[in-house]
Structure 1
């Protein structure tokens, strides 16, 4: 059941990305370019995502446990540190330069393979470097 719900959620998420054109880097860069030729159309997508999150937390607060898992997996860190600032800055810079974040980047493997290959390759290398850095600091 867990796998089917995960698959369904992934499909709905992917269809939402495609339908809203968040898989199109030109649209995303147009949304992020608030001082240039700004395209505000993705505000509806962002507001919808916030609405879904609010509904999700409301459901979570009324239930002891999820329907198909033993416990809720909610982030526990509540402080802002240098890792959060640097990581979010790098994410934002990469998103602004390329027009891709991980979800739409995966879709680019099919609808724009040249860019998608470079983006996913960089994502894997960056994730690997982060993993190795964390492993080195834990010793």
Structure 2
């Protein structure tokens, strides 16, 4: 039960942080991304702060090997930059640039009842489902070639 409570509390703190920093405000994000118009650099400070906290957290996680609740930590080990990573990053960046919303703020916007957030999260879930179907198809094709 404590794991669920900690996860809920962490999500609430993260969501409140997104709201307070205005990362859940698509207009603010788009003004940050628009370097040819009225560029608003304020979100760069939010990102630098998040990166700083993340660096400390990941360094601590690597040393500990377990969460504070005793669960094991599984961090990515691959350092390979392949076509899938590049294409996924491009898809994420284009989606963020077009909508001003990324997954975390999208969930916050759904929680506030925002139509933009609901449409974004629905499209994100559809995209995830399409990816999963393509992965299953690809795995099936690989099995047929091997078998």
Tell me which interval the TM-score lies in, with the shorter structure as reference length.
over 0.9
* 1:68 counterpart residue number: 69
Equivalenced residues, count: 139
* 2:114 counterpart residue number: 113
* 2:39 counterpart residue number: 38
Unaligned runs of 5+ in 1: none
| Structure 1 segments of 4+ aligned residues over 4 angstroms from their partners | none
Residue 64 of structure 1: CA displacement? 3.6
Partner Cα separation in structure 2 for residue 53 and residue 114 of structure 1: 31
Residue 96 of structure 1: CA displacement? 0.5
Deviations 1:72-122 (A, max 9, x none): 120122100111111100100000110000111122224463212211111
TM-score, normalized by length of structure 1? 0.92
Q: Bigger CA drift: 32-41 or 54-63?
A: 54-63
1:41-56 aligned within 5 A? 41-56=42-57
Residue 69 of structure 1: CA displacement? 4.0
1:80-99 aligned within 5 A? 80-99=81-100
SS in 1 for 2:38: coil
Root-mean-square deviation (Å): 1.4
Name which one, 1 or 2, has greater alpha-carbon Rg.
Answer: 2
Q: Bigger CA drift: 127-136 or 114-123?
A: 114-123
Partner Cα separation in structure 2 for residue 108 and residue 67 of structure 1: 30
Q: Bigger CA drift: 129-138 or 57-66?
A: 57-66
Partner Cα separation in structure 2 for residue 102 and residue 69 of structure 1: 28
